């Protein structure tokens, strides 16, 4: 170890506050693996120095997430590979393969432009976004879990790829509304998107977003008193849409120079994978796993459609899965396409009525799989975005 | 004796000034003649017997009386689609809102509903020949804690009074109409690369009193300038002409364009334009007496024709097939069955198909009580187009 490196390690160990302020995210990522620093970080997170409190909070959130996830902790997805002048759909599929061994097909709606990429330990969503920007396409969800490459201008603007999360800009708009009730009201509306690595499962609970700092390039604070950001969790897509309302900057401002905030979501710690086989032979089947009871009430074929009714129940309230977590296949892993679904739930249970449709190449319906989250833990995601251009 | 009685009765119904106005039709002074014409048209049908008598007597006054009769006939046709505006004359001191609303309702026949009637709040108002919407607007502002909304549905209208601050909409009241700017928005969506797309939007709303049935409504902006002198009229799209119809004529219209006023502009100095309405000129009526015995009968007017091809009754259902010419009448055709007591039973289309040439064959159906006889069927369609313009000008509308 050289003298300089040895000195740096000593400084880091001795003064986490200085280290956080100097190395920011790099320090956060290192301290997240240091349970011995937990009490120090708790103290720093209450600091009157807002910058220090922010960075210590970010490190603490990462550290606590590792603790609370326990065995469910998944290292952030990183992508390493290169491609030269290869079709975007092929490159997309290769990236999707880092999240699951048999990635879904990527349908090309229009042109399949060639792209050149060199990823080395690149965050999963950063890799996907880079291909999107190069090819001028967005990767949309299609029927039956397939992906569609749709020609569109991908969103530009600041983005952050940290840990297992990506926070990106969807839209920034300046709006003035006059209703003739009060004085004209002008605001900045910012839409952000939080994406969660596919290896981590987000559940449908209420999320919360807090903006702690918003500043333009003239130094004005854009925080708007009394404004609570909206959070819409789309657990099926592993996304949360964030709607922020900020104060209007002065006319000379040209950009939002810094935005800091947190999003609180809920992640799965334990899931129960429930499987029904021999479909059609046993009209009503019951399974129990980890305190979750699942009853397959009926499965009926009508023409090219298969209608399924399932009831889930548990002693305590669980985040009942959405229809994406109920799969019907032919026993060989070839899934039927879901054509419709309805769900009703209460504190103790949920009832699902699903309609699946035949697909070419898929045999008889033989297996129904339901994935239920039985344990969760809270997760606070810190994000920091810079330089939103407003010209 | 009977003639004398009739004359006495007619005389009793005529305003006493009619004879004088008819005399004035022959006056040498043009101002006197014009004033007499206006007054006689305003009196309308009640002046017709005396005017006919003047026509019979001939002379210069007789010629002018014939013109007045034609004007009255035209005005009567107009009233089929555009009822005369309400005029409210009311003085209240320290009255309650509910009591005042009841008085307005009595004078106008307009349905006024309220979900909010603050007890203890006293209102003082004075209306003199005030149009309905102007009176309601003034009343809500006098009450301070109430606002109102207007909903037009076919020829009917309802005004709802609710709790809340009445917005200070830029607004205009003309006879039985109101036009207001209900909201305004300016937005710029940044592309986050140093560009963006802007949009301005003005939301207009209008309404009319009961008995008024335009067949088309479109709002046009003629002048739109901000306080820095920038004009936006050239940026506005042409207002889309909506199809002529009666079932629903829109009462709101957004006006959108893509150039946002610069940061230094704080208001629109002037927004000038008009609400352009179109009314039918006349109502074409195609009656069929004893319809079950009248298959094959053709009813013809200048604007079109309807042939009753077949008609049969099955308990409560009266089903008929009619040929309508020209086919464009179908979109505005209204239909009803009448029983011998004159009770009306509206009908509906069940099927339409192309007929000969420009005609359309329609299957229609009426539902009547089992005991009722269908004495006649009546099909009617408005025809022609008479424009009516409601101008407005709003000044100093704040945008920032």
A269: exposed, middle or buried (Cβ count in 10 Å: 0-12, 13-18, 19+): middle
Between strands A305-314 and A292-302, the pairing is: antiparallel
pLDDT band at A12 (very low <50, low <70, confident <90, very high): low
- pLDDT more than 90, % of chain A: 65
Query: Smallest CA–CA separation between B192 and chain A, in Å?
Result: 5
A75-97 burial string, b = 16+ CB within 10 Å, else e?
Answer: ebbbbeeebeebbbbebbbbbbe
Number of domains in chain B: 4
pLDDT for A143 equals 66
Query: Smallest CA–CA separation between B372 and chain A, in Å?
Result: 48
- If asked whether residues B196 and B254 sit together in one domain, one would say yes
B189 lies in a domain? yes
B161 lies in a domain? yes
- Residue A225 forms contact with B (CB below 8 Å): no
- If asked whether residues B319 and B369 sit together in one domain, one would say yes
- If asked whether residues B107 and B65 sit together in one domain, one would say no
Query: Smallest CA–CA separation between A383 and chain B, in Å?
Result: 18
The predicted-structure confidence for A31-59, as pLDDT tens digits, reads as follows: 999 999 999 999 999 999 999 999 999 99
Q: Determine, for residues A157 and B397 on separate chains, whether the beta-carbon distance falls below 8 Å.
A: no
Distance from C-alpha of A262 to C-alpha of A287, rounded to nearest angstrom: 39
Mean pLDDT of A99-106: 84
Residues of chain B found within 8 Å of residue A172, distances taken between Cβ atoms: 189-190, 192
**Bond prior to B326 in cis (omega within 30° of 0):** yes
- If asked whether residues B104 and B197 sit together in one domain, one would say no
B150: exposed, middle or buried (Cβ count in 10 Å: 0-12, 13-18, 19+): buried
A204-240 burial string, b = 16+ CB within 10 Å, else e?
Answer: eeebebebeebbbbeebebebeeeebebebebeebeb
Residues of chain A found within 8 Å of residue B191, distances taken between Cβ atoms: 156
Higher pLDDT, B310 or A154: B310
Phi (first) and psi of residue A101, to 5 degrees? -65, -35
Which has the closest alpha carbon to B43: B64, B13, B8? Answer: B13
Indicate which CATH number applies to the domain containing B371: 2.60.40
pLDDT for A89 equals 94
- With beta carbons less than 8 A apart as the criterion, state whether B336 and B344 touch: yes
Q: What is the pLDDT along chain B (400 residues), one digit of tens a residue?
A: 343 333 333 444 566 788 899 999 988 888 899 899 988 988 888 888 899 999 998 888 888 999 999 888 877 777 788 888 899 999 999 998 888 999 999 998 888 888 887 777 788 999 999 999 999 999 999 888 899 999 998 778 899 999 999 999 999 999 999 999 999 999 999 988 777 889 999 999 999 998 898 888 999 999 999 999 999 999 998 876 555 655 568 899 999 999 999 988 999 999 999 999 999 888 889 999 999 999 999 999 988 999 999 999 988 999 999 999 998 888 888 899 999 988 989 999 888 888 777 789 999 999 999 888 888 999 998 888 889 999 999 999 999 8
pLDDT for B231 equals 97
Q: What is the CA radius of gyration of chain A?
A: 24
- If asked whether residues B7 and B60 sit together in one domain, one would say yes
B14 lies in a domain? yes
- If asked whether residues B334 and B396 sit together in one domain, one would say no
Higher pLDDT, A8 or B373: B373
In the beta sheet, which residues pair with residue B309? Answer: none
The predicted-structure confidence for A68-81, as pLDDT tens digits, reads as follows: 999 999 999 999 99
Q: Determine, for residues B188 and A174 on separate chains, whether the beta-carbon distance falls below 8 Å.
A: yes
- If asked whether residues B219 and B185 sit together in one domain, one would say yes
- Residue B398 forms contact with A (CB below 8 Å): yes
Q: Which of B79, B107, B132 is the last residue of a domain?
A: B79
- Residue A390 forms contact with B (CB below 8 Å): yes
Indicate which CATH number applies to the domain containing B69: 1.25.10
pTM of the model: 0.72
3-state SS of A301-330?
EECCEEEEEEEEEECCCCCCCCHHHEEEEC
B24 lies in a domain? yes
Q: Which of A213-217, A286-290, A347-351 reaches the highest mean pLDDT? A: A213-217
Mean of the per-residue pLDDT values for chain A? 90
Residues of chain B found within 8 Å of residue A388, distances taken between Cβ atoms: 190, 192
- Residue A275 clears pLDDT 70, i.e. is over it: yes
Query: Smallest CA–CA separation between A254 and chain B, in Å?
Result: 9
ipTM: 0.79
B196 lies in a domain? yes
Pull the structure tokens for residue B262. 């610069």
Domain with B20, as residue range(s), is 2-79
Helices B48-57 & B59-79, crossing angle to 10 degrees?
A: 150
Which has the closest alpha carbon to B392: B139, B250, B229, B222? Answer: B222
- Residue B116 forms contact with A (CB below 8 Å): no
- If asked whether residues B87 and B72 sit together in one domain, one would say no
pLDDT for B247 equals 57
The predicted-structure confidence for B169-195, as pLDDT tens digits, reads as follows: 999 999 999 999 999 999 999 988 777
Residue to test with chain A: of B170, B192, B400, most A Cβ within 10 A: B192
- If asked whether residues B256 and B394 sit together in one domain, one would say yes
Mean pLDDT of A265-289: 87
The full DSSP string for A182-226 is SS-EEEEEEEEEEEE-TTS-B-SS--EEEEEEEEETTS-B---TT
Q: Strands of B267-279's sheet, edge to edge? A: B216-226, B267-279, B386-398
B172 lies in a domain? no
Q: Determine, for residues B193 and A156 on separate chains, whether the beta-carbon distance falls below 8 Å.
A: yes
Name the one residue in this structure whose structure tokens are 């300016």. B186
Name the one residue in this structure whose structure tokens are 């039709």. B25
Distance from C-alpha of A52 to C-alpha of A44, rounded to nearest angstrom: 7
What stretches of B27-131 show up as alpha helix (H) in DSSP?
30-43, 48-57, 59-79, 97-108
pLDDT for B8 equals 37
Mean pLDDT of A145-155: 83
Q: Cα(first)–Cα(last) distance of chain A, in Å?
A: 49
Mean pLDDT of A308-328: 88
B307 lies in a domain? yes
Q: What is the CA radius of gyration of chain B?
A: 27
Q: In whole angstroms, how far apart are CA A146 and each of A92, A104, A305?
A: 12, 5, 19
- If asked whether residues B304 and B330 sit together in one domain, one would say yes
Residues of chain A found within 8 Å of residue B263, distances taken between Cβ atoms: 251
- With beta carbons less than 8 A apart as the criterion, state whether A118 and A127 touch: no
pLDDT band at A307 (very low <50, low <70, confident <90, very high): very high
Query: Smallest CA–CA separation between A244 and chain B, in Å?
Result: 14
Domain ranges (residues) in chain A: 3-72, 75-154, 270-377
Residues of chain B found within 8 Å of residue A171, distances taken between Cβ atoms: 189
A285: exposed, middle or buried (Cβ count in 10 Å: 0-12, 13-18, 19+): middle
Q: Determine, for residues B183 and A180 on separate chains, whether the beta-carbon distance falls below 8 Å.
A: yes
* CATH class for the domain made up of A75-154: alpha beta
Distance from C-alpha of A254 to C-alpha of B176, rounded to nearest angstrom: 50
- If asked whether residues B273 and B337 sit together in one domain, one would say no
The full DSSP string for B103-129 is HHHHHH--EEEES---TT--EEEEEEE
Residues of chain B found within 8 Å of residue A169, distances taken between Cβ atoms: 192
- If asked whether residues B186 and B248 sit together in one domain, one would say yes
B199 lies in a domain? yes
Mean pLDDT of A156-163: 94
Determine the Cα angle at A321 with ends A316 and A326, to 5°: 130
Which has the closest alpha carbon to A195: A126, A133, A246, A137? Answer: A126
What stretches of chain A show up as alpha helix (H) in DSSP?
3-14, 16-23, 25-31, 38-44, 50-69, 88-96, 124-135
- Residue A186 forms contact with B (CB below 8 Å): yes
């Amino acid at each position: 170890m050289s003298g300089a490196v040895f000195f740096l390690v000593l400084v880091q160990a001795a003064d986490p506050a200085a280290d956080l302020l100097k190395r920011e995210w790099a320090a956060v990522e290192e301290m997240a693996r240091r349970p011995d620093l937990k009490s120090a970080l708790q103290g720093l997170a209450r600091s009157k120095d807002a910058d220090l409190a922010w960075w210590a909070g970010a490190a603490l959130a990462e550290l606590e997430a590792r603790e609370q996830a326990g065995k469910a902790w998944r290292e952030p997805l990183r992508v390493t590979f290169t491609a030269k002048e290869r079709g975007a759909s092929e490159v997309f599929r290769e990236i999707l393969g880092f999240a699951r061994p048999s990635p879904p097909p990527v349908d090309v709606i229009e042109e399949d432009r060639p792209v050149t990429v060199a990823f080395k330990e690149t965050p999963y969503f950063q890799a996907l976004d880079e291909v999107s920007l190069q090819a001028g396409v967005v990767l949309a969800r299609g029927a039956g879990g397939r992906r569609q490459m749709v020609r569109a201008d991908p969103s530009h603007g600041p983005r952050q790829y940290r840990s297992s999360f990506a926070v990106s800009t969807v839209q920034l708009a300046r709006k003035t509304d006059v209703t003739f009730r009060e004085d004209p009201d002008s605001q900045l509306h910012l839409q952000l998107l939080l994406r969660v690595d596919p290896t981590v499962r987000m559940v449908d609970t209420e999320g919360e977003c807090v903006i702690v700092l918003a500043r333009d390039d003239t130094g004005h604070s854009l925080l708007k008193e009394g404004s609570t950001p909206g959070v819409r969790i789309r657990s099926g897509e592993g996304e949360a849409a964030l709607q922020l309302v900020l104060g209007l900057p002065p006319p000379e401002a040209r950009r939002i120079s810094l935005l800091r905030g947190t999003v609180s979501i809920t992640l799965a710690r334990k899931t129960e994978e429930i499987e029904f086989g021999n479909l059609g032979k046993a009209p009503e089947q019951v399974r129990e796993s980890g305190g979750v009871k699942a009853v397959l009430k009926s499965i009926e074929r009508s023409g090219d459609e298969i209608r399924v009714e399932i009831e889930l129940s548990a002693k305590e309230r669980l985040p009942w899965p959405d229809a994406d977590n109920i799969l019907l296949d032919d026993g060989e892993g070839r899934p039927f396409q879901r054509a419709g679904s309805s769900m009703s739930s209460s504190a103790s249970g949920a009832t699902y009525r699903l309609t699946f449709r035949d697909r070419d190449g898929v045999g008889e319906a033989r297996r129904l799989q339901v994935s239920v989250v039985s344990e969760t833990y809270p997760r606070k995601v810190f994000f920091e975005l810079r330089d939103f251009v407003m010209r | 004796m009977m003639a004398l009685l009739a004359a006495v009765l007619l005389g009793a119904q005529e305003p006493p000034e009619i004879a004088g106005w008819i005399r004035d039709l022959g006056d040498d002074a043009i101002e006197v003649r014009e004033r007499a014409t206006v007054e006689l048209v305003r009196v309308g049908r009640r002046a017709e017997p005396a005017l006919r008598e003047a026509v019979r007597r001939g002379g210069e006054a007789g010629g002018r009386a014939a013109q007045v009769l034609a004007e009255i006939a035209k005005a009567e046709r107009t009233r089929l689609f555009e009822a005369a505006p309400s005029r409210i004359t009311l003085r209240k001191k320290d009255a309650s809102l509910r009591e005042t609303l009841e008085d307005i309702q009595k004078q106008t026949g307009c349905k006024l509903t309220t979900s909010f009637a603050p007890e203890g709040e006293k209102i003082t108002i004075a209306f003199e020949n005030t149009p309905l919407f102007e009176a309601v607007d003034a009343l809500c502002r006098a009450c301070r804690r109430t606002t109102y909304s207007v909903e037009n549905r076919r020829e009917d209208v309802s005004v709802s009074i609710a709790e809340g601050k009445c917005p200070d909409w830029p607004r205009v009241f003309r006879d039985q109409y109101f036009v207001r700017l209900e909201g305004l928005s300016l937005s710029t969506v940044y592309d986050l690369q140093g560009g963006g797309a802007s949009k301005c939007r003005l939301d207009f709303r209008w309404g009319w009193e009961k008995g008024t049935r335009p067949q088309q409504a479109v709002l046009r902006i003629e002048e739109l300038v901000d306080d820095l002198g920038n004009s936006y009229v050239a940026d506005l799209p042409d207002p889309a002409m909506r199809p002529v119809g009666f079932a629903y004529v829109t009462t709101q219209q957004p006006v959108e364009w893509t150039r946002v006023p610069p940061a230094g502009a704080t208001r629109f100095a002037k927004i000038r334009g008009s609400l352009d309405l179109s009314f039918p000129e006349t109502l074409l009526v195609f009656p069929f007496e004893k319809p079950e015995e009248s298959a094959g009968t053709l009813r013809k007017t200048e604007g079109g024709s309807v042939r009753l091809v077949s008609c049969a009754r099955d308990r409560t259902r009266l089903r008929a097939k009619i040929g309508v010419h020209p086919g464009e009448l179908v979109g505005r055709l209204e239909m009803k069955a009448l029983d011998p007591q004159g009770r009306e039973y509206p009908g509906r289309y069940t099927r339409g198909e192309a007929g000969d040439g420009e005609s359309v064959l329609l299957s229609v159906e009426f539902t009547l009580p089992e005991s009722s006889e269908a004495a006649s069927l009546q099909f009617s369609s408005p025809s022609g187009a008479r424009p009516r313009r409601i101008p407005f000008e709003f000044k100093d509308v704040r945008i920032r």
